Each structure stands twice: as structure tokens, then as C-alpha cells.
């Protein structure tokens, strides 16, 4: 937030002025990486199956699940849901490696096909994440290879309006 890294903790040290060590829970971080990477593949799948008018409007990524908010004019059919799942799982089975470019000029990333989420604020230089044909500007945590995700399943779909 505001170019400051923020960490959340359940308990503060007794003396916040003392030196202490913050440790990331590797298991939880790995599950979050899987779900976050899956949001990139899901975004690509929705645009491929439903059309390029689909835009990400938000998401919630946790170690146990992900939620992906997007714009579309109707509820997805059973066939569309199946096609989206199959698309994502094909990318997982494809064992696509993470390609990451840090601190590249925004114009260069967009020229290479990176999707920028409108409403998001980006600096002059950005981080571009690629898994196969999915290229997005992103500061999140990702798996090294889509095979790490194992499997993708849509458990529900709902409309907010």
C-alpha cells in the first residue's frame, strides 16, 4: 500500500522496539501462490471462452480458495463453466513455466501484450507475469510452474447485481 510492504500478524511482540524475526508460513504461502496463479489462468480462460469484453473487476486470493470478480452480461451456462475449467486445467497440465520481468517500462509491457487492470495504479516501471499466453501486470506471488497448481475446480458462480 502506497509502496510500503505491510505484514499482518495475530500477535505483536511484547516490545515492538526490539529486534524480532517475521517468518512466512511456507505451506500457506505455497497454497496462496497456487490460487493466485490460478486467477491469471481463469482470467485468460474467461476471455477465451466468453469473449474479450470480459474484464477482471476484483479478486480475493487466500490459501484455501480464490474468488474472481468479472464483468459479463449473463450467467455462465453449464457448458461455459465446463469449458472454462477445462481451459484452466489444460494450462495446468501444460506445465507452463513462470516468466517474470521486473522493472520494465510500462509501455514495453503493454506492447508485449500484458493486460493492465484499469482502475489500478501503475508506476513508470512494472512487473509482468507470463504463463504461456497469459501476460498480466502483477505484484503478487506465483508458482514457478502451472503444474504446481495440481487441479482447478469452479465450486460456485453468482451475480452481484
User: What is the pLDDT tens value at each position of the chain, 161 positions in all?
Assistant: 567 877 777 888 889 899 888 788 999 999 999 999 999 999 999 999 999 999 999 899 999 999 999 999 999 999 999 999 999 999 999 999 999 999 999 999 999 999 887 667 788 899 999 999 999 999 899 999 999 999 999 999 998 76
Q: 31-149 is classed in which CATH architecture?
A: 2-Layer Sandwich (3.30)
Closest to 37 in 3D by CA, of 114, 126, 146: 146
Give the number of residues written for the chain: 161
CA–CA gap between residue 149 and residue 93 (Å, rounded): 9
Residue 12 has a pLDDT of 83
Instruction: Please state the domain extents for the chain.
Output: 31-149
| Grid coordinates of 111 | 506492447
Q: What is the pTM of this model?
A: 0.88
Residue 118 has a pLDDT of 63
Residue 75 has a pLDDT of 92
Q: Do residues 141 and 37 touch, judged by C-beta distance below 8 A?
A: no
Residue 26 has a pLDDT of 95
Q: Do residues 46 and 80 touch, judged by C-beta distance below 8 A?
A: no
Q: Do residues 82 and 89 touch, judged by C-beta distance below 8 A?
A: no
Residue 93 CB contacts under 8 Å (≥ 6 apart), including other chains = 147
Residue 22 has a pLDDT of 78
Amino acid at each position: 500500500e502506497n509502496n510500503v510492504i505491510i505484514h499482518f500478524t495475530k500477535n505483536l511482540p511484547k516490545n515492538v522496539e526490539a529486534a524480532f524475526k517475521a517468518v512466512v508460513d511456507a505451506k500457506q504461502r505455497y497454497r496462496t501462490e497456487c490460487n493466485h496463479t490460478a486467477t491469471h489462468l481463469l482470467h485468460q480462460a474467461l476471455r477465451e471462452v466468453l469473449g474479450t469484453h470480459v474484464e477482471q473487476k476484483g479478486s480475493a486470493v487466500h490459501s484455501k480458495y480464490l474468488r474472481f470478480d468479472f464483468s459479463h452480461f449473463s450467467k455462465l451456462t453449464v457448458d461455459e463453466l465446463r469449458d472454462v475449467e477445462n481451459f484452466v486445467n489444460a494450462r495446468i497440465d501444460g506445465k507452463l513455466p513462470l516468466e517474470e520481468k521486473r522493472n520494465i517500462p510500462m509501455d514495453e509491457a503493454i506492447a508485449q501484450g500484458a493486460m493492465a487492470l484499469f482502475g489500478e495504479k501503475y508506476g513508470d516501471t512494472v512487473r509482468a507475469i507470463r504463463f504461456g499466453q497469459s501476460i498480466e501486470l502483477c505484484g503478487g506471488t506465483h508458482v514457478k510452474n502451472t503444474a504446481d497448481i495440481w487441479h482447478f475446480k469452479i465450486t460456485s458462480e453468482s451475480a452481484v447485481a
